[in-house]
Homo-oligomer: A and B are copies of this chain.
Amino acid sequence: MSGPDTNGRVLLHGYFRSSASFRVRIALNLKGVAFTQVNHHLRKNEQRSESYLGVNPQGLVPTLEMDGLKLGQSLAIIEYLEDVQPLPALLPEDAAGRARVRALANIVASDIHPIDNLRVLRYLRESMGQNEEAVQRWYNHWIAEGFAAFETLIAGAPETGTFCHGDAPGLADVCLIPQVVNSQNFKLDLSPYPTIRRIYDTAVKLPAFERAMPMNQPDAE
C-alpha cells in the first residue's frame, strides 16, 4: 500500500485482470510516464480494505496517485494525462474527431464493460443464483451488442486508419484492446468483427500495449 507520501512517484493502484486498470497502463505507456504498480486482488476483495478505501472511497481500481492527487475512474484519469502531458495525443485535435473517439471509448466504457465486469458477474452468480451457462450468455449478449455497433462505426469510416481513428493509437484503442482481451476469457468469436480484430492484431505488437497486457503484470496468475 502507498503511504500518504509517494515521494514524487506515480503510483497505479490496479489489478492485472482489471480492464479499466489495463486502459490506464496502456495510456501511461503511450505517454511514456513511468509508474509503480500497487496491486489489489479483486477476487479476494482487497480493493474493499479500509486502507484502500482511504485512497479510493469507491473501492474500485484503478486509482492513479500523481501530482499529489488521487485520481479515480479510468477515463477521467486518461483525460487528466492528456491535459497535463498532451503529447503524444490520445485525442484528435478537431472537436468532431474528439467526439468520435470519445463516443467509441464510451461504447466500451459505458455500454459493455460495466455490465460485464467481475462485480456484476459475481452478483448474478451469488445473489441471483445464475449458473455459468447463464452468466456466459449474459456476458456474450452485451459484448456482442457493443462490438457490433463499434464494428459498424469503424468499418466503413474514412477516419479509421491503422487504428480506430487515424494511424496512431488513441483513446478508442486504449479502451477497445482490453475489452477484446477480456472477451477471450469467455471465448468470444471475433470473426463478426474483422476491423476490431485487425486493430487488435496491430495494437498488441506495440510495446505500450504489450507491456500493459494482464499476463505481463507482476500480479498475474
Contact surface of A with B, Cβ cutoff 8 Å: 57-60, 67, 69, 71-73, 75-77, 79-80, 83-84, 95-96, 98-100, 102-103, 105-107, 109-111, 113-115, 120, 123-124, 127-128, 130, 134, 137-138, 141, 146, 149, 152-153
Contacts and interface: CB of A to CB of B under 8 A. Distances in A.
Contacts of A75: 102, 106, 110
A133 to B, nearest CB: 12
A75 B108 CA distance: 13
B110 A109 contact: yes
A109 B77 CA distance: 15
Contacts of A152: 57
Contacts of A127: 137, 141
A146 B59 CA distance: 10
Contacts of A137: 127
A58 B106 contact: no
Contact of A79 (B67, B98, B130, B146): B98
This chain: copies in complex: 2
A96 B69 contact: yes
SS of A interface (majority): helix
A73 B99 CA distance: 9
Contact of A102 (B60, B73, B103, B120): B73
A138 B134 CA distance: 17
B111 A123 contact: no
A141 B146 CA distance: 24
A103 B57 CA distance: 12
B103 A114 contact: no
Contact of A71 (B79, B103, B138): B103
A57 B95 CA distance: 21
Nearest to A149: B58
A71 B83 contact: no
A52 to B, nearest CB: 13
A83 B110 contact: no
Given A95-B80, A95-B83, A128-B134, A149 B71 contact: no
A123 B99 contact: no
Contacts of A72: 103
